[in-house]
Amino acid sequence: MDPALLKERAKFMNRALAQPTVEKRKSKSSHDSDKAKKAKVSSSRPKEPKSSSAAFDYKTASGSSQMKFGILAKVVNFMKKRHQDNDTYPLSIDEILDETNQLDVGNKNKHWLITEALPKNPKILNVQEDGETKYKYKPTYELKDRKAFLNLLKKCDLHGDGGLLLDDIEESLPHCQQALKKLGDSILYITRPHDKKKILFYNDKYCQFNIDEEFTKLWRGVSVEGQDERKIEDYLEKQGITSMQDVGLKTVTPAQKRKKKGGKRSFKKHNEHLEGVLQDYGEFKASKFTS
């Protein structure tokens, strides 16, 4: 072999050994790295305990709970309709389930109705009849007919208790629309502005009186929006009109009369037992000192 080539080969090997080299490590796949990161994060986070006392919501409850409340809703609506049709006699649980076509209700749900749902419902009244528990509807007001309803309106008007909500009357008074139609103008209907519900008031015709139309126009033409009582009072004073003040009756407490001093004051006398024995030496002492 040519010695020149051997020398060149030796030089090349020496240079290669003198030059530093970096070894490349094998990279893991992205899938394995994501798994490792997720495992690390999940191990670092503390596990949150499941809260057993969460608020019960029947809308998000399980199917069995929704079925229970569906059965209860049918029962309450049926009892309400019976009352509005003037069927106020009580029914047993079997009669109610028969009327609502729910005879296929299981013993568990039936027991729940008897022990929890119906006794705790504010619209269902429990009645004991012949040793058996029966149920009837419990309305807002106990109204048998339109006469009882009119008397209730008069009572509210007399005592200043305000009006009655139409929804409550429709729930409580059997054949409500017929009764309202027959009462006619004995009732005033006022629509509440914030929820558009109707309020019923007694129309007391004795308090009605005619007002001059010109006065009504003047009254409606005065705008008092954004004005408080003080500003209205100042405006009336500038116009030469005295406003009413201290409308309420004042309770005047009567002044307490002082007791008169009667007669002369009596003083206590001392040494009454020495009366006639004591002598007055005042004149003797005076003459002695003057001489």
Q: What is the pLDDT of residues 34-60, one digit of tens each?
A: 665 565 555 555 454 444 334 444 444
In contact, 129 and 91? CB cutoff 8 Å: no
CA distances from 99 to 57, 71, 82, 83, 266 (A): 28, 12, 11, 14, 98
Q: How far is C-alpha 24 from the chain's CA centre?
A: 74
pLDDT number for residue 77: 92
- Residue among 191, 161, 192, 165 at smallest CA distance from 176: 165
- 53 three-class SS: coil
Query: pLDDT (tens digit, 9 = 90+) per residue, 120-146?
Result: 999 998 888 888 889 999 999 988 888
Q: Classify residue 124 by its DSSP letter.
A: E
Q: How are beta strands 164-165 and 187-191 bridged, if at all?
A: unpaired
Boundaries of every domain in the chain: 63-137, 146-207
The whole-model pTM stands at 0.50
**Residue-wise pLDDT tens for the chain (291 aa)?**
677 888 888 888 888 777 766 555 555 555 566 665 565 555 555 454 444 334 444 444 445 778 888 999 999 999 999 998 888 889 999 999 999 988 888 888 889 999 988 999 999 988 888 888 899 999 999 888 889 999 999 998 888 888 899 999 999 999 999 999 998 888 889 998 888 899 999 988 777 777 888 888 888 887 777 777 788 888 888 888 875 555 444 555 666 666 666 566 666 666 677 776 666 666 655 555 555
pLDDT digits (tens, 9 = 90+) for 109-121: 889 999 988 999 9
CATH 1.10.760.10 given to domain 63-137: no
| Local structure of 154: helix, strand or coil | helix
Rounded CA separation 148/5 (Å): 131
